[in-house]
A and B are shown apart, each in its own frame.
Chain A
Amino acid sequence: MKCLTSKQIQRQIDGEISSELSEHFQQHIDKCPSCQEQYNDQKLLAHSIKDLMNASVKLPEEIPEFGIPKTPDKIKVNYIRIPFWLKAAAVLIPVFFVWKMSFKPCEDFKPSAENIRMYEMGNSIDANTAFQENMITTKVINKDGKVIKCETN
C-alpha cells in the first residue's frame, strides 16, 4: 500500500472516515514508520492548536439577558372609505355624457335634392389643388331650363 497523504491522515485523526477504511489506514500506520511519524506529528499539531485556541478565549462568567430589539410601530394610515355607489357614479356619469354627446341622432337633417346636388358639385372640386387652379363654373338657368348666364373664375 502507498503511503498516506496528509489529507488522509487528517481524516483518520478526526474520525471522518468509514470504519473499514480507518482500520485499513491504521494497519498501514502501524507498519510504516514514516506514516506513523507523520500521523503522530499531525495529531499533536491538531490537538495542540485546538487546545491553544480554546485556552486563548476567556468566556463570560454569566450569560447576559437578551434585550429584545424594539421594532418600529406600524404606521397607521387612515383610509377614507368611499362608498361603492360613489365609485360607480364617478365612472358612469362621465361615460353617460360622452355617449350622449357622441351618438346624438341628427333628426333635423333632411337634405333636399338641391342640397345633395350642391354637395356633389362641391365634391367634384379637387381639394388637393389650389383654389385658383380649380375652374368653378356658375350657371344661371331660367324657368324653362335654359342657361341664361354662365361665368367662370
Chain B
Amino acid sequence: MEQFNELYKLHYTTIYRMVSKYSVSRFEAEDIVQEVFIKLYLQYDSGATVQFPKTWLYKVASNICINTISRRKETLHIDKVNELDLGVFDSLEMKIEEDEHGKIILNALSILKEQEKLIVILYSEGLSYKEIADVSGVRFSSVSKCLSRALEKLKPLLKNRYYEMLNQ
C-alpha cells in the first residue's frame, strides 16, 4: 500500500484540478476525487497492478465526472432547482466566488461535445497527445484535429478575454 499512498499524494491535486474543470461544485469534486482513489485502492488491494497510474486515474476520473453530470442533468434539469435554496452553497458569497472563478470558461466548455470537452480539459492539464489519446479513446492521429476544432469553437465565446490577452 506504500505505492498507493505515494500515488495519492502525488496525483491528488492533479486529479482534483482536472475534476474541477467539469463544472462540478467543490463538494462534488472532493467526492469524485475520493471515489477515484477508492477505486485505485481497491485495485491495489485486490492484488492487481496498474501499469500507467496517471492515465488510469484520469480515465476513471473523467468517466465518473461524465456520469455525475449526466445524472445531475436527469434530476435537476426538470425543475431547475435553485442550488442556493437547497443549501448546496454555504452562503451567497461563496456562490458568487465560485461563479467568478468558473463562469466564463465553464460556460464556454458546456457547448462542446463530451469528447471535445475531455480533450480540451486534458490538454489544459498539460498531457501529451499520446496520453490524451489513451485517456479519451480518440486515435492518436486525430487528437490534433479534434483539439484545434474544439479550441476554434471556444474562440468566439471567450472573445473578450481573448482579445484582452491579445492586446497585452
- Interface-located stretch among A2-10, A76-84, A104-112: A2-10
- A10 vs B154: C-alpha distance when bound (angstroms): 15
- CB-based contact A49/B154 at 8 Å: yes
- Interface-located stretch among A57-65, A85-93, A124-132: A57-65
* Closest A residue, CB atoms, query B101: A56
CB distance from B91 to the nearest CB of A (A): 16
Question: Which of these, B5, B45, B155, B161, contacts A52 with CB under 8 Å?
Answer: B161
Q: Is B136's CB within 8 Å of the partner chain A?
A: no
- CB-based contact B144/A10 at 8 Å: yes
CB distance from A37 to the nearest CB of B (A): 12
- Range class of the B interface residue count: 35 or more
* Closest B residue, CB atoms, query A66: B8
Provide the B93-104 mask, 1 if CB < 8 A to any CB of A, else 0. 000000001101
Contact A59 to B147, CB < 8 A, known contacts A16-B129, A54-B124, A66-B8 = no
- CB-based contact A59/B17 at 8 Å: yes
* Closest A residue, CB atoms, query B98: A58
Q: Is B165's CB within 8 Å of the partner chain A?
A: yes
Question: Which of these, B12, B104, B124, B152, contacts A50 with CB under 8 Å?
Answer: B124
- CB-based contact B105/A52 at 8 Å: yes
- CB-based contact A56/B41 at 8 Å: no
Contact A59 to B16, CB < 8 A, known contacts A49-B124, A69-B38 = yes
SS of A interface (majority): helix
- A46 vs B120: C-alpha distance when bound (angstroms): 9
- A7 vs B42: C-alpha distance when bound (angstroms): 40
Contact A57 to B148, CB < 8 A, known contacts A63-B13, A66-B37, A69-B42 = no
- A55 vs B105: C-alpha distance when bound (angstroms): 10
- Range class of the A interface residue count: 20 to 34
Contact A49 to B121, CB < 8 A, known contacts A54-B17, A56-B104, A63-B12 = no
Contact A48 to B165, CB < 8 A, known contacts A6-B152, A68-B41 = yes
CB distance from A79 to the nearest CB of B (A): 25
- A63 vs B16: C-alpha distance when bound (angstroms): 10
- CB-based contact B16/A60 at 8 Å: yes
Q: Is B62's CB within 8 Å of the partner chain A?
A: no
Contact A56 to B105, CB < 8 A, known contacts A7-B148, A68-B41 = yes
- CB-based contact A14/B124 at 8 Å: no
CB distance from A114 to the nearest CB of B (A): 84
What chain B residues lie within 8 Å of A56 (beta carbons)?
20-21, 101-102, 104-106
Q: Which residues of A contact B (CB under 8 A)?
A: 6-11, 14, 16, 42, 44-46, 48-50, 52-60, 63-64, 66-69, 71
